[in-house]
Amino acid sequence: MDESKYVKVNKRDNVAIALNDIPKGTQLAPGVIARHDIPQAHKITLEPIAENGAVIRYGVTLGYVKRDTPAGSWINEDSLVLPVPPALDEMEWGCDIATDLPEPVASTWEGYPAADDGFAGTRNILAIHTTVQCVTGVVNVAVDRIRRELLPSYPHVDDVVPINHAYGCGVAINAPEAKVPIRALRNLLRHPNFGGQTMIVGLGCEKLTVEMLLADQPELNCADNVIILQEHRGFEAMIEAILSMARQKLERLERRRRESLPISKLLVGLQCGGSDAFSGVSANPSAGYAADMLVAAGGTVLFSEVTEVRDGVYLLARRCVSKSVADRLAEEMRWYDTYLELGGVDRSANPTPGNKKGGLSNIVEKAMGSIAKSGTSPIVEVLSPAERPREHGLIYAATPASDIVCGPCQLASGIGVQVFMTGRGTPYGLAAAPVLKLCSRNEMKEQWFDIIDINAGPVATGEKTIAEMGTMVFRKIIEVASGRDQPYSERYGLHNDLCIFNPAPIT
């Protein structure tokens, strides 16, 4: 077989993905001749598959062909019937616990110790939190002035960031699932990059009151930390109040200094977006190797995206360290199944047109590539959206798969760095923590040479091993977390809006 033209992941697979475009008529093996033009990253059958027969990639069934399919055929989103999702009852747990994690190539990093002795900060940022979207315009004007007029006098402060969001009013504030956005906003107040300095701007008539936002920290609800715009006479008075409070907070943040810390003080998030069929071959396994190395060094890693693990959840359950952790995993999957059902959809609504153009036929294939970013480490904890970790190690943090919703959820959990894998490309970024971009193929790096930080494409072409690329990713994480390197998204200020997950009704 001419394996220079395609990538086969598992010996059981009866399809492979094209390394580059394969013209119709190309012979890949005796009896395997491309019957169509096969686009890069799309699947070609390596053997005949009878009607209703399984298409196998990653050693698992992606779906069932709708008709007899000869060897050399193109398999795409129109070719397959989606399989039934894996059952959540009585999943095996604790039977796939890895103990041979890769040896870390570093044991320390330079960060800002947290006041509560929790995970440390990777940046030194003044955050201005808001209770409601109505104050966003005023806060943005004030932030612009703070950056121009105040920040130059505080060289040890990296930035001032508004925590703007669309929540706070016009919502069912006491609905059961309102706990999700409220938890996210409360936990964002505690983010280690903000140095323990609380600064809140409210309007004065919103449903998410300051008292509610600070319910678990009532001692912070005072004039030193809170500005209510309706209590000020005129626009300039509002701006001056915000600038005056900002000066006080900046004075305190200016005293922060980085210290050499163990990797146990580092919390890293993993997310993928704009995925393609190479994501599960190169970028995600490389990130998974780096995750294993971080865990071996005592660090903590979050991976997420419910619909993108749902079809591989039984594989994750096998890595859970206890029945209670496996039960929590099943509980989060059930919650999201119900959430989608209430919206009249299922997990098949996940793949985007770009995913499909990149060779991902359905959510099963996308999920199997997505979970590769979790590496092989044991799963020690499962979090609901925007919860803070209590354990150290590899953690599954349940979130929607949407990039701009998953990111803020992980941020609320306290991540100091996010590693973002992409195949199709996205300029996504977070203002409150650096985002490191890892792409799956050489063409993506060539196209966006000054947006993608690391190219995992050489793994797909056989020029580098997953271990070599994963070690490179690990080193880059440490450099970025320590402030010795800036990913492109941070250099350019490529920051998405903060989209807080709100499954509760909007009134």
Q: Each residue's pLDDT tens digit in the chain (507 positions)?
A: 556 789 999 999 999 999 999 999 999 888 899 999 999 999 999 999 999 999 999 999 999 999 999 999 999 999 999 999 999 998 999 999 999 999 999 999 999 999 888 999 999 999 999 999 999 999 999 999 999 999 999 999 999 999 999 999 999 999 999 999 999 999 999 999 999 999 999 999 999 999 999 999 999 999 999 999 999 999 999 999 999 999 999 999 999 999 999 999 999 999 999 999 999 999 999 999 999 999 999 999 999 999 999 999 999 999 999 999 999 999 999 999 999 999 999 888 888 999 999 999 999 999 999 999 999 999 999 999 999 999 999 999 999 999 999 999 999 999 999 999 999 999 999 999 999 999 999 999 999 999 999 999 999 999 999 999 999 999 999 999 999 999 999 999 999 999 999 999 999
Residue 355 in any domain: the answer is yes
Domain final residue pick, 253, 287, 310: 253
**Pairing, β 125-130 against β 108-111:** unpaired
* Domain hosting residue 237, numbered range: 125-253
Residue 349 in any domain: the answer is yes
User: How far is residue 107's CA from residue 418's CA, in Å, rounded to a whole number?
Assistant: 19
If asked whether residues 249 and 298 sit together in one domain, one would say no
210 neighbors 221 (Cβ within 8 angstroms): yes
User: How far is residue 103's CA from residue 88's CA, in Å, rounded to a whole number?
Assistant: 34
Residue 96 in any domain: the answer is no
Residue 504 in any domain: the answer is no
Q: How many domains does the chain have?
A: 3
If asked whether residues 238 and 269 sit together in one domain, one would say no
If asked whether residues 296 and 206 sit together in one domain, one would say no
471 neighbors 293 (Cβ within 8 angstroms): yes
Residue 506 in any domain: the answer is no
Say which residues have a Cβ less than 8 Å from residue 41's Cβ, sequence separation at least 6: 17, 18, 276, 277, 278, 358, 359, 423, 441
| CATH number for position 35 | 2.30.130.110
Q: What is the pTM of this model?
A: 0.95
If asked whether residues 370 and 452 sit together in one domain, one would say yes
Q: Give pLDDT, residue 498.
A: 94
If asked whether residues 295 and 436 sit together in one domain, one would say yes
Per-residue pLDDT of 281-339, as tens digits, reads 999 999 999 999 999 999 999 999 999 999 999 999 999 999 999 999 999 999 999 99
Q: Give pLDDT, residue 271.
A: 97
If asked whether residues 181 and 164 sit together in one domain, one would say yes
If asked whether residues 10 and 40 sit together in one domain, one would say yes
Place of tokens 């409601």: 132
The answer to whether the Cα torsion of 125, 126, 129, 134 is positive or negative is negative
| CATH number for position 175 | 3.40.50
Under DSSP, the state recorded for 255 is: T
What is the identity of the amino acid at 382? V
Under DSSP, the state recorded for 146 is: I
Domain final residue pick, 253, 269, 288: 253
If asked whether residues 281 and 229 sit together in one domain, one would say no
Under DSSP, the state recorded for 352 is: -
Residue 320 in any domain: the answer is yes
Mark 483-498 as b/e (b = at least 16 C-beta within 10 Å).
Answer: bebebbbbeeebbbeb
If asked whether residues 305 and 389 sit together in one domain, one would say yes
**Pairing, β 300-303 against β 394-397:** parallel
Residue 456 in any domain: the answer is yes
Residue 503 in any domain: the answer is no
User: How far is residue 386's CA from residue 406's CA, in Å, rounded to a whole number?
Assistant: 9
User: How far is residue 303's CA from residue 317's CA, in Å, rounded to a whole number?
Assistant: 14
Per-residue pLDDT of 81-120, as tens digits, reads 999 999 999 899 999 999 999 999 999 999 999 988 899 9
If asked whether residues 332 and 411 sit together in one domain, one would say yes
Domain final residue pick, 238, 253, 268: 253
If asked whether residues 346 and 446 sit together in one domain, one would say yes
If asked whether residues 249 and 307 sit together in one domain, one would say no
